[in-house]
A and B are shown apart, each in its own frame.
Chain A
Amino acid sequence: MCPTDDLKRALGSVADAERPVADPAADLARARSAASARTRRRLRLGLTGATTAVVLCVGAALVLDRAPSDPGTATSVPDAPSSGVRLVAERFEATPYTFDLTPEGWSVQAQRPAAVTIAPDDGSTSSSPDDFAGKLVILFDGNRPSGRQLEHEGRLFWVSGDSGYTALATRTRDDEPAGVVRIQYPDGAGWDLDSMVAFLASVHVGPGARQGLG
């Protein structure tokens, strides 16, 4: 027997195991569900073909324009978040940003000096990192934070939102580049405010970060 046949036979011993036959209808149902979720997210955001610049501006505008700030009424956020998306205590890098928590089932799609895009792994969102619909976006800029104020582990956070998205902002730590780090996340994707505050609090802004123009 020739060597190629030997290797193919060995590979075939693994590949050709007997398996139950799957019903294509189940695959179709999953695919349609993912397509519906994508459509809903796009409709909520009012985007069918989003661009980076437009969404960055919208995200920042949401943060700046919504609910008036009330520094005197800061409320406390519980330390233990609970939501549909599970945060795992595992550090990951998206240079120049570092995260102490990892959202299970979501992955970094793009990292830039002024923004990081994190998308769900289920394939329900665009593979283009410039399309932010249905994804988390972490932004860094110098604009004044505004919105409802919360306190978590001694830091202040500002929350605002509209059009199916919530935006959360906090000032960077003393040993980080000065500015405001923000996160914009889609409502209805399994996130809640407590987990998102914990997630944003876990962001470390590295020296390579550059403020965006939001």
Chain B
Amino acid sequence: MRDDERSTRRATEFVAFTHAHRADLVRTAALLCAGDEAFAEDVVQTTLTRLYLSWPRVRRADSPLAYARRSLTHVFIDEARRAHRRRETTMAEPADALGTEPAAADADPALREAMLAALASLGPRQRAVVVLRHWHDLDVAETARVLGCSTGTVKSQNARALAHLRTHLGALDPTLEVS
């Protein structure tokens, strides 16, 4: 296959993938970034660029979306731990950043606000564990593979994160259960 044909094929596949899955990646990034939409968009853009640069690997993956979610998680953790990045300090209250962002029509604003505050108070890796385990329904072993840590670490991070969320969300609604 000639170079220009290869390039066209890559571009076509990339656009189709982005069209189908960008919204999913943005939702995941919004959770990882605790509602910081600008940060989430940065993470998604960086992830998509990396995916394009290594497109043959994406193409070969059993599930390109799972591959993309894994890349997204890595980009988020890399970004979150950069010494010169101080996004958290620019936000007085995590919920404030979302104040201008319209919520879904049927969303509970109080629940959303409490969830944002709860997520923002977790460390980046704990947040990633919660998102992978309870939003994407990955099992402990798969979560450990994505994060490059042991299953024991995932279990302990998950337990601590859930206890934290229980405290935050339980104050909002005692009938709300988190486990």
Contact = CB atoms under 8 A, between A and B. Distances in A.
Interface stretch (A25-33, A65-73, A157-165, A198-206): A25-33
Interface in B122-154: 130-131, 134-135
Nearest to A34: B49
Interface residues of A, number: 41
Given A11-B115, A19-B26, A38-B53, A107 B82 contact: yes
Given A3-B177, A27-B18, A17 B48 contact: no
- Which secondary structure dominates chain B's binding surface? helix
B84 A88 contact: yes
Interface in B91-117: 98, 101-105, 107-108, 111-112, 114-116
A17 B178 contact: no
Interface string B39-52: 00000011011111
Interface in B28-85: 28, 30-31, 34-35, 37, 45-46, 48-53, 78-79, 82-84
B15 to A, nearest CB: 5
Interface of B: 11, 14-15, 18-19, 22-23, 26-28, 30-31, 34-35, 37, 45-46, 48-53, 78-79, 82-84, 98, 101-105, 107-108, 111-112, 114-116, 119, 130-131, 134-135, 162, 165, 169, 176-179
Interface of A: 1-4, 6-19, 21-22, 24-25, 27-28, 30-32, 34-35, 38, 88, 90, 92, 102, 104, 107, 121-124, 127
